[in-house]
Every structure is written in structure tokens, then in C-alpha cells.
Amino acid sequence: MKTLTRSNRILLAASSLLMVVAYFVPFWKIEMWAPQYPEWLHMKIWLYQITGDIDIINGLNHYIGMKHIKVEMFPEFKVMPYILAALIGFGMISAVAGQRWLAWTFLLLLVAAGTAGLVDFYLWGYDYGHNLDPTAAIVVPGMVYQPPLIGTKELLNFIAYSAPDWGGWILATSGMGVIVVLLRDYRILKF
């Protein structure tokens, strides 16, 4: 079995430990702009909570028949901190053991977790934007209000923007660190 070099093991450990920061910063953000809200409305999604202008967003969404956003509607918040802890732990085990196959497995786990998170977020957004109360004060036939997964989208007079926040970028950076380890191990990168 191929063993990683000491410097690659250190980089793998650093990539794993970097993910600890995701516990302390928002993971994703959704922002909405409209002429009556030129300062933007903000929603920050953390591993375990949602913060920002939730009350205002819920008040506006009530008029078009969307469900109220509350932490209790997301069982993911109960398991995401543990999933991240397991990923960090597996990354550290991979660094200590120093086996190439463990680094590959760690990368695949990171990609699988990231993909599952994006799919889950898309499905939540789909349900949230399509399953509207038909007795809402404002009903626009054929209109759905699914927020964008990534990027911007016009929803009536609002511009909605969705993108990774600090935690999401940190996790992406950790994944890139593992890719660098593997590219260095195969001598594709020579630094």
C-alpha cells in the first residue's frame, strides 16, 4: 500500500482541521433585494440554526402562501454537526495512517456529503417554493417561488441570491486541500 509523505499527511490533517471553523460561521446565505428593501434581507444557514431577517421574510412569504421558516422544520440541523465531526475524524485518521486509499476515501466522502447537502437543499427549496397555500392573499397563477440553489433569480419584485457563505467556502477549501494531497502524491503537482 502506498504511504503518503510526511508533508502530504500534514496537509491532509490541516485540511481536516480547517473544517472545524464551519461550526462557528454560516454555511450558506440567501439574500433578497426589492425596492422596498434596498438594504437586502439576509438569511444565514449554519450547521445547526438559521439567523438573519427570518421574521420579515416569513411575514412577506405569508402573503404568497409559503410556509414559515423555522429551525424545527429541518431535521438536518440535528445531524449535520455529527456528520461534519465524522468527516473531520475520518480525515484525521487518514492523515495519521497516511494511506493513499484513505485519502481517496476521504475525498469521496467529502464529495458525497457536499452533493447530498446540495440535493437536500434543492429539494427543500422546491417544496418550499412549489407547495403554496391556495388561500394565500396573493395568488399568481402558475407562479412558483423556489429560491435559486446557487446564483440569482427574480421572484415577483424580489431578486433572490443564494450562495455558499464562509462555512461553505471553508469546506470547499478543505476538499481542494485533499485534491492537492492526491495530486502531489501522484507527482502531478511538484511543490
Domain boundaries, the chain: 6-185
Cell reading at 26: 454560516
Q: Is 11 within 8 Å of 103 (Cβ atoms)?
A: no
Report pLDDT digits (tens) over 31-53: 999 999 999 999 999 999 999 99
Q: Does 6-185 carry CATH code 1.20.140?
A: yes
What CA–CA distance (Å, rounded) separates 18 from 177?
10
Q: What is the pTM of this model?
A: 0.90
Report pLDDT digits (tens) over 106-145: 999 999 999 999 999 999 999 999 999 989 888 888 888 9
DSSP secondary structure string for all residues of 89-148: HHHHHHHHH-BHHHHHHHHHHHHHHHHHHHHHHHHHHHHHHHS--TT-S---TT---PPP
* Residue 45 phi, psi dihedral angles, 5° rounding: -105, 120
Cell reading at 54: 427570518
